[in-house]
């Protein structure tokens, strides 16, 4: 189940591509070139190689990936549709800056979606359905793991974290609700994953997810809502602490670790 959830999260939300060199090999023709550039730039944003406020040009992107301006422009327009990039003038583009009002709005929407879903899962007639029981068993196998058996790779935990929340909302059998959460998830991924990849909250995530699952299994609506609300508010509080300086520090730290093998510092030290 762990591998299934990771694959689902990656397939629907986060293309995984190697870092692009200054001049990438030419990809296939037509739409595949735009897809290639899109996936590379999206990964650059999620991996903080491109930071909020960084500016790009269509010409520069075309040169970097050895493509014409048309696929470069199509890729940038797709990123704009994702809420990750914005155009300004004469072929200029900018990674969407940190906008705390926007992130507050997105977290509020996330809370509305997830608390509604949790309430639906808890307020059931009789015992657990076979489908919900099976889902909880599979999620428990991941999030109830003893401390010594927990994953430590932040990127893998981040993918599982997204899959956890999407799985619970999808369990309501409301496709529109799940699609709405996916859209919110896509837009907060850059800031949401900072703690999991570069911070020190993996154990906390395991504990909070385990508590949410236990409350749902028990049908304890009040406890489940309290757990999910605390979980979301904790993530939102970390977003509010973000600054451009911190983002630059994260990228510098990641580059240093990649070059020297030095481990990143924990939360609160950058």
pTM here? 0.72
Contact 121, 104 (CB under 8 A): no
Mean pLDDT value of segment 168-196:
90
3-class DSSP assignment, residue 56: strand
Look at the domain 99-260 and name its fold: 1.20.120
Pick from 97-106, 117-126, 140-149, 241-250: least confident? 241-250
The pLDDT value recorded for residue 204 is 92
Query: Do the domains 99-260 and 13-95 match in fold?
Result: no
Note the pLDDT of residue 225.
98
Q: What are the residue ranges spanned by the domains of the chain?
A: 13-95, 99-260
Mean pLDDT of 2-20: 41
Helix axes 69-81, 58-65, angle to 10 degrees: 110
The whole-chain average pLDDT of the chain stands at 82
At 23, the pLDDT band (50, 70, 90 cuts) reads very low
Alpha helices in the chain (DSSP H): 2-13, 31-46, 58-65, 69-81, 100-122, 130-143, 154-170, 175-192, 194-198, 202-218, 221-240, 244-260
* CATH number among 1.10.3720.10, 3.30.1330.200, 1.10.10.10, 3.30.470.10, domain 13-95: 1.10.10.10
pLDDT, residue 17, reads: 32
Q: Which residues pair with 95 in a beta bridge?
A: 85
Q: Classify each residue of 211-233 as buried b or exposed e, where b means 16 or more C-beta atoms within 10 Å of its C-beta.
A: bbbbbbbeeebebbbebbeebbe
């Amino acid at each position: 189940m762990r591998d299934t959830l990771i694959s689902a999260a990656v397939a629907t939300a986060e293309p995984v591509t190697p870092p692009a060199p200054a001049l990438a090999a030419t990809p296939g023709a037509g739409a595949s070139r735009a897809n290639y550039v899109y996936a590379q730039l999206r990964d650059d944003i999620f991996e903080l190689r491109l930071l909020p406020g960084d500016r790009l040009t269509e010409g520069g992107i075309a040169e970097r990936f050895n493509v014409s301006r048309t696929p470069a422009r199509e890729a940038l327009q797709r990123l704009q549709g994702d809420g990750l990039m914005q155009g300004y003038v004469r072929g200029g583009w900018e990674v969407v800056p940190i906008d705390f009002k926007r992130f507050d709005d997105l977290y509020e929407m996330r809370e509305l979606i997830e608390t509604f879903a949790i309430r639906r899962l808890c307020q059931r007639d009789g015992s657990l359905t076979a489908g919900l029981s099976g889902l909880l068993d599979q999620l428990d196998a991941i999030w109830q793991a003893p401390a010594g058996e927990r994953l430590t790779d932040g990127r893998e935990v981040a993918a599982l974290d997204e899959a956890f929340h999407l799985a619970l909302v999808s369990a309501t059998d409301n496709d529109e609700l799940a699609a709405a959460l996916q859209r919110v998830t896509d837009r907060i991924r850059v800031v949401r994953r900072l703690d999991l990849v570069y911070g020190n909250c993996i154990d906390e995530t395991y504990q909070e997810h385990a508590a949410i699952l236990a409350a749902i299994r028990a049908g304890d609506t009040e406890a489940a809502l309290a757990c999910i609300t605390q979980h979301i508010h904790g993530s939102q509080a970390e977003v509010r602490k973000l600054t451009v300086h911190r983002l630059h520090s994260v990228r510098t730290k990641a580059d240093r670790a990649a070059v020297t093998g030095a481990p990143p510092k924990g939360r609160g030290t950058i």
